[in-house]
Amino acid sequence: MTLERVTVLGATGSIGTSTLDVLGRHPERYRVHALTAHRSRESLLAQCRRHRPAVAVLDAEEDAAWLRGQLAEAGLATEARAGREALVEVAEAREVNTVMSAIVGAAGLLPTLAAVEAGKRVLLANKEALVMSGALFMDAVTRHGATLLPIDSEHNAIYQCLPVDHRGGLVRHGVTQLLLTASGGPFRGWSRDDLVRVTPDQACAHPNWSMGRKISVDSATLMNKGLELIEACWLFDARPDQVQVVVHPQSVIHSMAAYSDGSVIAQLGNPDMRTPIAYGLAWPERIDAGVEALDLFRIARLDFEPADEVAFPCLRLAREAMAAGGTAPAVLNAANEVAVEAFLAGRLGFTAIGELVGRVCDECPVMPADDLETILEVDALARRAARVRLARQ
């Protein structure tokens, strides 16, 4: 069997570490080419010792210099590099077959797009790449012959529930609706008044999934589900009204597809990201992910309820941004990143996240998202607008 060489963008985050766990279970099949991290240099060093990549990339040169010294001391041949250009190069490297895109936020857009343009198999766990530049991104996938496999548990589930060739609109394939499940986060059932006093530690305590702090906050506000709604529209050629969010507290059904004959096809499994990661790595085959088999007798029941868009307005804001089109989703994403950063730093209240995002979306004009330069300019503009509003508070 020919070894597949894999680059993991965002290797030290929860998706990255889960990816390395799956890769480590199949050394006869996969080899790590490159690992990247933002500032977690100690964690990246430990991963280099375990997986021996050819290249390791950090954001800052000072961290890369530290890593070079540590690697030399350990007798490892891994090359330590720094910066955006290095990220792009390990994503598009000739030696690489597969790229796991697990960088959180807008920072993942350029290297992920580079992997697509190089025709790689791209495992997409960075939803912002599609939220910011959906039309451009999907067009690049087609033009460059890349293979795009969604890794978010919900989109991966929908991918498994749809026909292999699902492009061209859902109706063409007899699909009437995509049912995007949500756990409801740690504050399911809380009123808006209850949410005013939520702390960062409370928001990051997800009941079912182990995730980074930014994604955990997005899950708590339901912005994560809003971003997933936008992502689903691009991935599956769907309109916003064809995607329904269903709160499912057990997180056992990861999402569903409803068909015109009355059938609803669902994908079930324990809430462990190694399942969709293994699916993406081996598709169209199946490999061991190290995940415990689902015990339906222990689960015993499956509950469903509608999402509360009054207490959690971020979901509504995301749907409205997708319906507006153009650069509106990029504005939404940029404002949310600034707002969540401020919340985690103790400078913004929990309910003020959605309020800030809504105001920035209202004040930033929607433009056609025709090129990457425009999208990046709008991203910067929205961030400035959000920071100005924060400074006034």
pLDDT tens by residue, 155-194: 999 999 998 887 778 988 999 999 999 999 899 999 999 9
Task: Tell whether residue 154 is among the known ligand binding residues.
Answer: yes
Same domain, 128 and 165: no
In this prediction, residues 47-75 reach a mean pLDDT of: 97
Task: Tell whether residue 228 is among the known ligand binding residues.
Answer: yes
* CB distance 115 to 91 below 8 Å: yes
Which amino acid does the sequence have at 297? Answer: F
Tell me which residue has tokens 């343009």: 117
Task: Tell whether residue 12 is among the known ligand binding residues.
Answer: yes
Helix, strand, or coil (residue 81): strand
Give strand pairing partners of 182: 247
In the predicted structure, residue 207 carries a pLDDT above the cut 80: no
Task: Tell whether residue 14 is among the known ligand binding residues.
Answer: yes
The C-alpha angle with vertex 213 and arms to 211 and 215, in degrees rounded to 5, equals 65
The maximal CA–CA distance of the chain, rounded, in angstroms, is: 64
Task: Tell whether residue 225 is among the known ligand binding residues.
Answer: yes
Task: Tell whether residue 219 is among the known ligand binding residues.
Answer: yes
Which amino acid does the sequence have at 55? Answer: V
In this prediction, residues 232-253 reach a mean pLDDT of: 95
The band of 208, judged by pLDDT with boundaries at 50, 70 and 90, is low
Task: Tell whether residue 153 is among the known ligand binding residues.
Answer: yes
In the predicted structure, residue 210 carries a pLDDT above the cut 70: no
In percent, the amount of the chain with pLDDT more than 70 equals 98
Same domain, 73 and 130: yes
In the predicted structure, residue 93 carries a pLDDT above the cut 70: yes
Q: Is residue 319 part of a domain?
A: no
pLDDT for 164 equals 81
Q: Is residue 320 part of a domain?
A: no
Helix, strand, or coil (residue 380): helix
pLDDT for 167 equals 75
Q: What is the domain-level CATH number for residue 60?
A: 3.40.50.720
In the predicted structure, residue 212 carries a pLDDT above the cut 80: no
The residue from 119, 151, 183 where one domain ends is 151
Same domain, 349 and 303: no
Same domain, 347 and 288: no
Give strand pairing partners of 4: 30
Instruction: Tell me the three-class secondary structure of 59-74, residue by residue.
Output: CCHHHHHHHHHHHHHH
Task: Tell whether residue 183 is among the known ligand binding residues.
Answer: yes
User: What residue numbers bound the domain in which 337 lies?
Assistant: 325-393
**Do the bridges between strand 243-247 and strand 305-306 make them parallel or antiparallel, or are there none, so unpaired?**
antiparallel
Rounded CA-CA distance 206/220 in Å is 8
Task: Tell whether residue 224 is among the known ligand binding residues.
Answer: yes
What's this model's pTM, rounded to 2 decimal places? Answer: 0.91
In the predicted structure, residue 206 carries a pLDDT above the cut 80: no
Query: Model confidence over 98-133: pLDDT tens digits?
Result: 999 999 877 888 999 999 999 999 999 988 889 999
Q: Is residue 85 part of a domain?
A: yes
Task: Tell whether residue 62 is among the known ligand binding residues.
Answer: no
Query: Model confidence over 363-381: pLDDT tens digits?
Result: 999 999 989 999 999 999 9
